[in-house]
Chain A
């Protein structure tokens, strides 16, 4: 059995105690803020050219949550032609599409017509080194 003793932040000294003692908190833990659902969240590295429209670049880290359903204009990871790729998810007139971020219509892939394509997860954050 462990005996947990109260832990005092500042030494008991003769001087005036630090007025901040009662307000000291832990370091910020990015995991807590960037990962809402740990078992379904994966860190995935971007490889290759950039996707300027949504500001994703080669080498960036994506925080991807599989438990979320994509909304209109969500950035998603999808399985297209047996490869995992980053795409924009677009909903229009009850139809869903994937696009590579450009406005050109011919870029769009219809999810309704291509049932073998599936959404792998929704990108929630991009971590980009400057």
Chain B
């Protein structure tokens, strides 16, 4: 009996956002469907039928509108509350197949299947697929291999197979499969490395696998060698079973229409700031540096382009919304210029750290810190219970300009009592 040392499965949901929309809307099954990014900007998820119409990933919606109209493609605005809930369900379902699991993104997870016997791997994978489909309605593809990078490659091929599963453990086809994968589709190989590899005559995963360690070390960095080693079947990237806390937190939005007034920019910066502060408080973190940025559309050349950012190093690390908004608005006033039509604002919190009782600082300007911590907690709890922005601070204004475009939203929310999916009696 063969028993390989390391067995990793990458489970990836097929056209995840489209599959979520199809779950409660059988009328769009087997039809071309696309989901747009927030603000209905770009295509971010496509059904197989939409891919066949040559609609590309990430393409701006206005560029594909013609194809959409001509072929009656169903279009949806992204509905992240729905996708988030379905993702949670998929991950919970996967967890029972292996407690050793890394949630890699909203629609992908690595599972450690080392405890499954080699000869049972395929059967196990089919069972995972079948269960996820039945329980959550989401179709998946599974790639199994001895390293994460190889399992990604296996998954890439599995997506094109009807069975939806490719197992590279003890497979004699590894090299054949790797030679089908273009270098830019190898996990961990970005634009920069792709250019370097192609220039050096490496155009497939197979070719990268066979390059000498010396060459890799000389010409790339540690990430480059890791990828090459992993393609050779030597595990270098391990499962991250615990969610790592974020080091940065960025919130930004485009306006539905261009904005010129400082007052309106102040409102949007305030909202981003509150949003980011809520996120870091949920992780029990505090922030050291905030950066705000504003810009006009890069496409409106005739009306003047302006973009600027400003960093603020906080004297005292904090996660107090009121303090953070105060600092962010001072920074905004500093970089705001009249006479421009602004399209986007954003805020980045960086240097995030765990909050502990030792963060108290001589220079703290908050008089009654205990009370303020309690206030923030009350705000967060209220907003969790009654929806984001139920409790806010007055500077955030009433949400109107930033109201993101969601023209084609399915409006279904499986976790909100008022927007549950519905069925008819027939």
| Partner-binding segment picked from A22-30, A37-45, A89-97 | A37-45
**Chain A interface extent, by class:** 20 to 34
- Do residues B420 and A44 form an inter-chain contact, with CB atoms below 8 A? yes
**Does B253 reach chain A (CB closer than 8 Å)?**
no
**Distance between Cα atoms of A37 and B357 in the complex (Å):** 40
Interface 0/1 of A24-64, CB less than 8 Å to B? 00000000000001111011111111110000100001100
**Distance between Cα atoms of A114 and B226 in the complex (Å):** 52
Q: A80-B426, A83-B26 are in contact. Are A42 and B414 (CB under 8 A)?
A: yes
Q: CB-nearest residue of chain B relative to A42?
A: B414
User: Which of A49, A50, A84 contacts B24, CB < 8 Å?
Assistant: A84
Interface 0/1 of B385-426, CB less than 8 Å to A? 000000000000000000000000000001001001111111
- Do residues B420 and A66 form an inter-chain contact, with CB atoms below 8 A? no
Give chain B interface residues in 4-57, CB to chain A under 8 Å: 24, 26-27, 29
Interface 0/1 of B69-95, CB less than 8 Å to A? 000000000000000000011101100
Q: A51-B425, A83-B27, A83-B426 are in contact. Are A43 and B135 (CB under 8 A)?
A: no
**Does B137 reach chain A (CB closer than 8 Å)?**
yes
Interface 0/1 of A50-88, CB less than 8 Å to B? 110000100001100011000000000101101111110
**Does A124 reach chain B (CB closer than 8 Å)?**
no
**Does A110 reach chain B (CB closer than 8 Å)?**
no
- Do residues B421 and A56 form an inter-chain contact, with CB atoms below 8 A? no
User: How many residues of B are counted as interface, with CB atoms below 8 angstroms from the partner's CB atoms?
Assistant: 23
**Distance between Cα atoms of A47 and B422 in the complex (Å):** 6
- Do residues B425 and A100 form an inter-chain contact, with CB atoms below 8 A? yes
- Do residues A83 and B424 form an inter-chain contact, with CB atoms below 8 A? yes
**Distance between Cα atoms of A39 and B414 in the complex (Å):** 12
10 closest A-B pairs by CB: A40-B135, A82-B27, A39-B92, A79-B26, A39-B89, A85-B426, A45-B422, A47-B422, A51-B425, A84-B423
A-B contact pairs, 27 of them (CB 8 A): A37-B135, A38-B92, A39-B88, A39-B90, A39-B136, A43-B417, A43-B420, A45-B422, A45-B423, A46-B423, A46-B424, A47-B422, A47-B423, A47-B424, A48-B424, A48-B425, A49-B425, A50-B425, A66-B135, A67-B131, A67-B135, A79-B29, A82-B27, A84-B24, A84-B26, A84-B424, A100-B426
B residues with a Cβ closer than 8 A to A are 24, 26-27, 29, 88-90, 92-93, 131, 134-137, 414, 417, 420-426
- Given A45-B422, A86-B423, 7 other A-B contacts at CB below 8 A? A39-B92, A39-B135, A43-B414, A62-B423, A66-B134, A86-B425, A120-B137
